Amino acid sequence: MKPDEMKDLAVLLQKVPGLKGIEFQEVKRLADLLLESPEIGSIELKGLFGTGVVITRTGGGLPVAMPGPVLLAPATKAGDGAEAPRAAAVSALKEIKSPMVGTFYAAPEPGAEPYMKIGARVSAGQTVCIIEAMKIMNEIEADFAGVVREVCVEDAQPVEFGQVLFRMDPHG
C-alpha cells in the first residue's frame, strides 16, 4: 500500500463511528503487520457496537478469530523479504464481499455439500453462498470467474456489510 493510499485510508477510518482518533501511523502499523506476518489472514476495523480491531490468523486455510483483546503493537521489520512474494500473490486475488448484514451459509441446506471449496472453479453469476437476512435466504453470486483460493468465513457465522467472504484468483 502506497503512503498516499494509507493516508486516504486513515482519513476514511476517522469518519467511521466508534473509531475515533485513529492516526495515520496506526493504519501504517496495521498495514505493515499484515504484510510482514504471513500467519495473519486479515485485519478488520469495526465501528459502532463492534468497535475495535479484529485480527484473524490463517489456520488450515480458514481464518480463525484471535481470542482476547488486540493491542496495537509496533510492527517489526521484515528480516529477509521472504514475505514479499506472498504479499504480491495476495494482492492479485479478487474478493467477494458480503452485500448485506446477515448469517453466512456455505451450503444450500444443513448437511449438504458447500457451494464453494478452496480450489473450486467459479463462473460469473454462479451462486457461491447464501446470506440469511431477516429470515430471507439471499443467494450470493460471483461477479467474476476464477478459482477460490480462500474461504474467509465459517458456516453459520454472522457477517457484516462489505466483509470479505471469499478470495479468488481471476487468472486461475
Q: What is the mean pLDDT of the chain?
A: 74
Q: Count the neighbouring beta carbons within 10 Å of the beta carbon of residue 49.
A: 7
| pLDDT of 153 over the 90 cut | yes
* Residues 132-136: contacts with CB under 8 Å, at least 24 apart: 132/102, 132/103, 132/105, 133/100, 133/101, 133/102, 133/103, 134/102
| pLDDT of 112 over the 60 cut | yes
Return the percentage of the chain with pLDDT > 90, whole number.
Answer: 42
| pLDDT of 109 over the 70 cut | yes
Give residues with Cβ within 8 angstroms of 157, minimum separation 6: 103, 104
Q: What would be the CATH architecture of the domain defined by 94-169?
A: Beta Barrel (2.40)
The full length of the chain comes to 172
Return the percentage of the chain with pLDDT > 70, whole number.
Answer: 56
Output the nine-digit C-alpha cell for 43: 485485519
Lowest mean pLDDT across 88-92, 131-135, 167-171: 88-92
Domain ranges of the chain: 3-91, 94-169
The mean per-residue pLDDT over the stretch 86-110 comes to: 83
For 21-33, the pLDDT digits (tens) are 556 677 677 777 7
CB-based contact 83:96 (threshold 8 Å): no
pLDDT number for residue 7: 72
Taking the C-alpha atoms of residue 29 and residue 15, their distance in angstroms, rounded to an integer, is: 19
Phi, psi for residue 30 in degrees, rounded to 5: -65, -45
Give residue 44's pLDDT band: very low, low, confident or very high (50, 70, 90).
Answer: low
What's the pTM value of the predicted model, to 2 decimals? 0.49
Nearest of 148, 66, 145 to residue 106 by alpha carbon: 148
The mean per-residue pLDDT over the stretch 127-138 comes to: 93
Lowest mean pLDDT across 3-7, 98-102, 121-125: 3-7
Give residue 16's pLDDT band: very low, low, confident or very high (50, 70, 90).
Answer: low
